[in-house]
Structure 1
Amino acid sequence: MRRLLLIAFVVGAPIAKAAERSGERMNVLFIIADDLRTELGCYGSEIAQTPCLDRFADRGVRFDRAYCQFPLCNPSRSSMLTGRRPTEVGVLGNRTWFGATCSDAVSLPKHFRHHGYRTLRSGKVFHGGIDDTAAWDEGGEERYFGEGATAQPPDESVRGPDGRLLGKDERSDRIVVLPGDGSQTREHRIADRAIAYLREASEHDADEPFLLMCGFNKPHSPLEAPQAYFDRFDLDSIPLPSDYEPRPTVPEGFPAGSIRRSNADLFIGRDSTPEAAREMIRAYLASSAWMDYNAGRVLDALEESGLAESTIVVFWGDHGYQLGEKGKWSKAGSLWEQGLRVPTILYDPRAAGNGRACPRVVQTLDFYATLCDLCELPTPDGVEGRSLAPFLDDPDTPSEEPAYSVWSEDGKHVTGVALRTEHWRYAEFFGRGAGKMLTDPVADPAETVNLANDPAHAELVARFSRMARDYATWWLPAEAAP
């Protein structure tokens, strides 16, 4: 019977030793959600309806302080899938293919394929129109962005119920009720395909291990779900954030660069109202619940396949999201806690830490090295990050390594750098809206007070500033040079 590894979080050395003792190679299954912040029941949300992932978190190790390297789909995924920081792989926007900017980088699926794994893809893994086609045995697509692209961009003409051609902003800034039970829609089909791969694996006894990556599109806008998922939430009971604003608003005492002037996903070019904000939050919750249901179908299929006891399962969200905090309704440009903190859960049946939460700061950048460690593969040159395996056996393993994240307004320069420790969040902005911010998310979870100019923290701010600038060396705007 094949071994299966389901990856959505992190793995490490103690687990790799167990695999070595068994003499069997592990398979990998990686489940990804798009635009999913830590708005899940297992992360303490009082309004989310995510029973499938909550049950999964009860079985595995939940990472409470996991952070992405860039609050945007393609740069975040490219960083994770190459094991390199965004500035190292050279991807700072949604239309850049990593192969054109960093030709020596070997993607995670391609690395596994080179080492005898059968690589399978269902749904969104890299980004729309961007794929590492040669990395997959099944499920790869021709890309239409980047050097050597052969496919053409899809027709983006979308019309509303009245037949009017919708602009790009109108297409994304929508709430959509899917017909019936949603079984004929894209999200359901992504799960169907992953389930078919699992069933095929259970029916064949083969020596060839596999890597299966399953990427769901929700809750990315447009916010979609069948009506039954909207009905789970009482609109009048949905609370607004304590720092809700009708439009993007820089909090007093913070640098202008900390909040972009306009939203990129929801309430584009228009103000929200408390009533409209609650409608949008309900739609986000419904869309998340719909994704949870389909992720649960894949997890149930794993149990039914007979592979569960020989499978490591990972669930990951590619970046965070703001739902009206400080008037922001998107992820783009958010170096705040909500924009960078990501849900990360990993289950390995052999791990001693299952059923517990890990309080240590970890990064998306760590996944590549972790999987190589777990599966006893060599780690390619240039891969950064560390193996997170020790946290699976002992989630309280001491660690003082911070997480770094960056943002770029022009796709060419780093205009913001953030670093997160277990106690502090620091961010520095360059170019327009330059300035520094230091918050204490422990004492001030809404991040409403900027401590960067407090003399009591001058030494800390100076140290963090050096760290931030060193991280983005050569990518800062000219005016940001010391």
Structure 2
Amino acid sequence: MATRANAPRRRWAVRATAALAAVALAELATCAQATYNVLFILVDDLKPTLGAFGDEEAKTPYMDDLLSRGTVFQSMSCSMAICGPSRASLISGRHADATQTWAFQPTFRKVSPELMTLPGHLRQETNHRAVGVGKILDNRNFNTDGELAPDLCGQDTWENADNVHCSWDEYITPKQMRQEPLCNGKTALRWAADDYEDWDQYDQFEAIILEIDNVTRHEDYCIGLIGREKLVELAANATEQPFFLAVGFVKPHLPWTGPRADFESFRTDPDSTILPPPEIQMDLDDNIFWTEQSSSWTKPSSNAELEKYEGWDTYDASDLVRAYYASTAFVDRQIGALISTLDNEIDETVRNNTMIILWGDNGYHLGDFGLWGKKTNLENSARVPCGIVAPPAWTAISGNEVQVGAHSDSPTDSVDLYPTVLDILGVDPPSDQTFSGTSLVPIMKNSSAQVRAAALSEYVSYENSNFMGYSIRTQSYRLIVYMKLSNKGVFDYSTAKKMELYHYGEPGAFETINRIDDDNYADVKAEMLALIGDPSDPDWTHLLGVAPFDA
């Protein structure tokens, strides 16, 4: 943890006794410490297909504008490239081995019934009102539908005085929106097809692409609408009770749905600009960059995520990529409306005391190496978009100046966001809780700063499910090592095998040659292998506070 996260929570009050020339600033600082709010925006299956990340095909002006106000983290990894475990790590600040959340079993609260999540800790420690709208947690891990283990927080929502470790004061899930008329007096439609009045009449896998004309019952439209309503409601009382509002959008997760106009806007884009580079386009069973012995460990034998949708094979690869971009463009406008509400309908004092985080839960393969979807340890699956906009009132305090609009290539990790929020809010971490991450505030102040030796992702082997693949990403390299993993989250280094080593020119690059047996990379291999830590430390804390060897 950064030292500021452990500083006394009243430190701003001491600074308020400075010279008369600083009285106004000191008053702002004192007020800010009591009232910093958090607006956390999550997007399902969003890879860095954003203009702010250099994607020239993307039509994401609203997310781009938001990110220009803060710090863009170009090389952030998710803990596991699958939504449930990734979100569990985000909200807990701990890697998948520590939460023992590797798939979709309802394990989070059974393994960690007293773990304080980020919203739960703020709710308890600083009286933040914690509200979630949309897809924040995955119900299969957190029991957010309240059916599997109701004695463990139900929807991870506070219901009585005994629920001290639960995350939310209020959590409006997508399922609730589909069952209750919360969206302008109507229910949301899960798949938002124009000709279906009731969400449960539409088969999830009936089509992979749905172009619609009426979006007013689309889940993401409803999530955005309710999110804006909650923002106004919470802001009205923010000077008395600060808020933590998380708004989670469900696209561009499959199936790809959205306004017909968005799909039309990408139809004229040539295939050459939409598809991956020609040398990366191939059939799934090609082994151009994997060694023969390890290819089946890292990549699946089929694209099951894609192939379960009817008619998937009637589309060209370029049409599938266009559909992903179109769904992303629709979500971008919903985020734009949310930020517009903050900018134009919220009291200036509240707005100046609100930090904003934008984050995607995992990356996504769009035909590169024949892969579609997430669930690998490779760059385009493990890398996620992220940006942080600090509260203007916080940045006005001497010593808190940030580089607005800066981009950082330093390796960062989704588990770093929990301690970062605590750092900015000046809140002590839970006293009996270990973190896998560290504060990103040093990078916000200096985009060249380094806060960790590497980021960590993991995904189970496709060849042998008893082996977990650990993917260690430094400034320019990625090492993937497969090791046996116990059901308690302890790996066995003596079983390490099937290694892969890749050299990247920049974040988001493709893997082209496995260098694990290349003598020219022997020193790099040794440095990377040295980053594998103690099996008894599932948080990999040895990576924190150390610059990458290749920085």
TM class by smaller structure: 0.7 to 0.9
- Structure 1 counterpart of 2:248: 215
Alignment check: 8 A CA contact 1:83 1:368 kept: yes
Counterpart-to-counterpart distance in 2, 1:56 and 1:185 = 23
AA partner of residue 420 (structure 1): R
The Cα of 1:273 is off from its aligned counterpart by 7.3
Residues 151-187 of structure 1 show CA distances to partners (whole Å, capped at 9, x for unaligned) of xxxxx9999989xx9877x35x61111332x122210
The Cα of 1:258 is off from its aligned counterpart by 1.8
Counterparts of residues 302-321 of structure 1 (less than 5 Å): 302-304=342-344, 305-306=346-347, 307-321=350-364
- Structure 2 counterpart of 1:453: 517
> Is 2:302 the counterpart of 1:262?
yes
The Cα of 1:106 is off from its aligned counterpart by 1.6
Q: Say how many residue pairs are matched.
A: 451
Counterpart secondary structure, 2:75:
strand
Counterpart-to-counterpart distance in 2, 1:374 and 1:446 = 35
- Structure 2 counterpart of 1:139: 171
- Structure 1 counterpart of 2:161: none
Counterpart-to-counterpart distance in 1, 2:536 and 2:192 = 39
Q: Which range moved further: 245-254 or 415-424?
A: 245-254
Counterpart-to-counterpart distance in 2, 1:310 and 1:438 = 44
Counterpart secondary structure, 1:46:
coil
Counterpart-to-counterpart distance in 1, 2:300 and 2:465 = 17
- Structure 1 counterpart of 2:18: none
Counterpart pick for 2:381 among 318, 339, 342: 339
- Structure 2 counterpart of 1:149: none
Counterparts of residues 21-420 of structure 1 (less than 5 Å): 22-24=29-31, 25=34, 26-115=36-125, 116-129=127-140, 130=142, 131=144, 132-134=156-158, 135-139=167-171, 170-171=205-206, 174-180=208-214, 182-204=215-237, 206-235=239-268, 237-238=270-271, 239-242=274-277, 243-247=280-284, 249-254=286-291, 255-256=294-295, 257-268=297-308, 276-304=316-344, 305-306=346-347, 307-332=350-375, 334-348=376-390, 349=392, 350=395, 351-380=401-430, 381-399=433-451, 401-408=453-460, 413-420=466-473
AA partner of residue 133 (structure 1): T
CA 1:66/1:197 → structure 2, altered by over 3 Å: closer, same or farther?
Answer: same
Counterpart-to-counterpart distance in 1, 2:334 and 2:418 = 25
CA 1:96/1:183 → structure 2, altered by over 3 Å: closer, same or farther?
Answer: same
CA 1:159/1:401 → structure 2, altered by over 3 Å: closer, same or farther?
Answer: same
- Structure 2 counterpart of 1:4: none
The Cα of 1:101 is off from its aligned counterpart by 2.0
CA 1:378/1:233 → structure 2, altered by over 3 Å: closer, same or farther?
Answer: same
CA 1:50/1:236 → structure 2, altered by over 3 Å: closer, same or farther?
Answer: closer
The Cα of 1:199 is off from its aligned counterpart by 1.4
AA partner of residue 242 (structure 2): P
Counterpart-to-counterpart distance in 2, 1:374 and 1:313 = 12
Counterpart-to-counterpart distance in 2, 1:386 and 1:474 = 15
The Cα of 1:235 is off from its aligned counterpart by 4.7
CA 1:301/1:271 → structure 2, altered by over 3 Å: closer, same or farther?
Answer: closer
AA partner of residue 230 (structure 1): F
CA 1:405/1:230 → structure 2, altered by over 3 Å: closer, same or farther?
Answer: same
CA 1:246/1:175 → structure 2, altered by over 3 Å: closer, same or farther?
Answer: farther
- Structure 1 counterpart of 2:479: 426
AA partner of residue 437 (structure 1): E
AA partner of residue 285 (structure 1): Y
> Is 2:472 the counterpart of 1:439?
no
Larger relative contact order (Cα-Cα within 8 Å, sequence gap ≥ 6): 1
Residues 240-274 of structure 1 show CA distances to partners (whole Å, capped at 9, x for unaligned) of 21211243544344322121111242245999879
Alignment check: 8 A CA contact 1:86 1:92 kept: yes
Residues 45-77 of structure 1 show CA distances to partners (whole Å, capped at 9, x for unaligned) of 111110101111111111111111100001111
- List runs of 5+ in structure 2 lacking aligned partners: 16-25, 145-155, 159-166, 176-189, 396-400, 485-494, 540-551
Residues 424-453 of structure 1 show CA distances to partners (whole Å, capped at 9, x for unaligned) of 111123579951111111179321111111
AA partner of residue 39 (structure 1): T
